């Protein structure tokens, strides 16, 4: 199968490309820096600067992972626009490719797996008291993260409207070695300076990178899979539980909490990433028959942080 991937040189995309290459699939990767991307990807990847550039070699499947990191910079109005626009540009490029293929009389891709995020649901509280389990049927709370994800998903819906089976993955905090959120969190914890954020009661839906890659492949191959899927482990944890488990795995204390007002002063609106969350559950993935390798946080962290 010929698989086109946007964001293929990123933290998740690289691991996905490695898995698909091992399975014998032909890889087409969209990157703003093709030469640099080629150094990061398996040998033989066809890397071009836009999805439309692949109209001469129509892909059988699409995976859409591209977008400005939501944690890259403070959320100024300009940065918010770039977070939205980068996702709409990448997804719109896939729409343009599909339209070009249809006009040329070529077969459209059979499937699109398109990223979204746990932020789709906003902060989920039950009348301000406690948390409620969040499945794909849970109504979202309106805030910036939800609006970002909703527009991203709506853009993917334009591909679906052309007749391409579309699965949306609402991704939790991705854990893996050598990058991602965990890499930024590790230094203070290794120094014994880690601790919860704010009250620590906010949920942190998480997923091991290898389980996320496996879920994407599962959705590519499962002809009946369409709609939204929560891509997070079946046992989410609170921030306090996460920090305690991480510290225990490193054999370090976690006794220095970061007050909410400090995070808000330093990060502005972006502090909501650390101070809010949702008890997100992968209901539809599990109903479809997907099995997680890393169901619990302690097992995931042990695998990632094991020496050697």
- For residues 289 and 282, is the Cβ–Cβ distance under 8 A? no
Give the mean pLDDT of 248-275. Answer: 74
pLDDT digits (tens, 9 = 90+) for 172-186: 989 999 887 788 788
Instruction: Write down the domain spans for the chain.
Output: 2-178+205-234+279-293
Q: Give the pLDDT band of residue 270 (cuts 50, 70, 90).
A: low
Give the mean pLDDT of 87-96. Answer: 96
DSSP 117: E
pLDDT over 70 percentage in the chain: 93
pLDDT digits (tens, 9 = 90+) for 123-158: 876 433 446 799 999 999 999 899 999 999 999 999
CA 174, CA 115: separation in Å to the nearest integer? 12
pLDDT over 90 percentage in the chain: 70
Give the mean pLDDT of 260-279. Answer: 70
- For residues 175 and 13, is the Cβ–Cβ distance under 8 A? no
Residue 103 above 80 pLDDT? yes
Give 2-178+205-234+279-293's CATH code, choosing from 2.60.120.10, 1.20.1370.20, 3.40.50.720, 3.40.640.10. 3.40.50.720
Residue 100 above 90 pLDDT? yes
Beta strands in 93-219 (DSSP E): 111-117, 133-134, 165-171, 173-175, 203-204, 206-208
Residue 91 above 50 pLDDT? yes
Least confident of 91-105, 114-128, 241-255, 277-291: 114-128
Q: Give the pLDDT band of residue 188 (cuts 50, 70, 90).
A: confident
Angle, helix 297-305 to helix 239-250, in steps of 10 degrees:
40
Q: pLDDT at position 266, please?
A: 63
**CB count in 10 Å sphere of residue 291:** 11
Q: Is the pTM of this model over 0.85?
A: yes
Alpha helices for 114-206 (secondary structure H): 144-161, 180-190
Residue 262 above 90 pLDDT? no
- For residues 162 and 94, is the Cβ–Cβ distance under 8 A? no
CA 29, CA 59: separation in Å to the nearest integer? 11
Q: pLDDT at position 125, please?
A: 63
pLDDT digits (tens, 9 = 90+) for 5-43: 999 999 999 999 999 999 999 999 999 899 999 999 999
Q: How distant is the alpha carbon of residue 178 from its chain centre?
A: 16
Mean pLDDT (the chain, rounded): 90
Q: pLDDT at position 126, please?
A: 47
Q: pLDDT at position 129, please?
A: 43
Q: pLDDT at position 21, please?
A: 97
Residue 72 above 90 pLDDT? no
Q: pLDDT at position 53, please?
A: 96
Q: How distant is the alpha carbon of residue 158 from its chain centre?
A: 20
Q: pLDDT at position 127, please?
A: 39
Helix, strand, coil shares of the chain, percent, nearest 5, are: 45, 15, 40
Residue 233 above 50 pLDDT? yes
CA 205, CA 239: separation in Å to the nearest integer? 9
Give the mean pLDDT of 108-129. Answer: 83
pLDDT digits (tens, 9 = 90+) for 45-64: 999 999 999 999 999 999 99
CA 308, CA 306: separation in Å to the nearest integer? 6
First to last CA, the chain: 34
CA 10, CA 27: separation in Å to the nearest integer? 15
């Amino acid at each position: 199968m010929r698989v086109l991937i946007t964001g293929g040189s990123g933290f998740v995309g690289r691991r996905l490309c490695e898995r698909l290459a091992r399975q014998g699939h032909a890889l087409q990767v969209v990157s703003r820096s093709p030469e640099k991307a080629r150094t990061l990807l398996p040998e033989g990847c066809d890397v071009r600067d836009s999805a439309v550039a692949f109209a001469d070699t129509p892909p059988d499947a699409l995976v859409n992972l591209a977008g400005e990191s939501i944690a890259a910079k403070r959320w100024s109005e300009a940065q918010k626009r770039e977070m939205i626009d980068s996702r709409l540009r990448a997804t719109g490029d896939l729409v343009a490719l599909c339209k070009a293929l249809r006009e040329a009389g070529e077969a459209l891709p059979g499937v699109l797996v398109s990223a979204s995020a746990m932020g789709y649901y906003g902060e989920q509280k039950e009348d301000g008291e406690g948390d409620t389990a969040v499945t794909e049927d849970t109504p979202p709370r309106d805030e910036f993260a939800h609006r970002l994800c909703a527009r991203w998903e709506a853009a993917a819906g334009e591909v679906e409207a052309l007749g391409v089976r579309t699965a949306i993955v609402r991704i939790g905090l991705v854990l893996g070695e050598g990058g991602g959120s965990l890499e930024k969190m590790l230094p203070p914890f290794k120094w014994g300076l880690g601790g919860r954020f704010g009250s620590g009661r906010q949920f942190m839906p998480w997923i091991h990178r290898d389980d996320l890659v496996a879920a994407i492949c599962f959705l590519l191959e499962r002809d009946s899979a369409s709609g939204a899927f929560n891509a997070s482990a079946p046992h989410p944890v609170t921030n306090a539980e996460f920090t305690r488990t991480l510290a225990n795995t490193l054999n370090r204390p976690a006794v220095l909490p970061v007050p909410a007002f400090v995070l808000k002063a330093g990060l502005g609106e972006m502090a909501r990433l650390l101070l809010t969350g949702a008890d997100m559950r992968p209901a539809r993935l599990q109903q479809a028959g997907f099995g997680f390798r890393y169901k619990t946080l302690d097992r995931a962290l042990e695998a990632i942080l094991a020496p050697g």
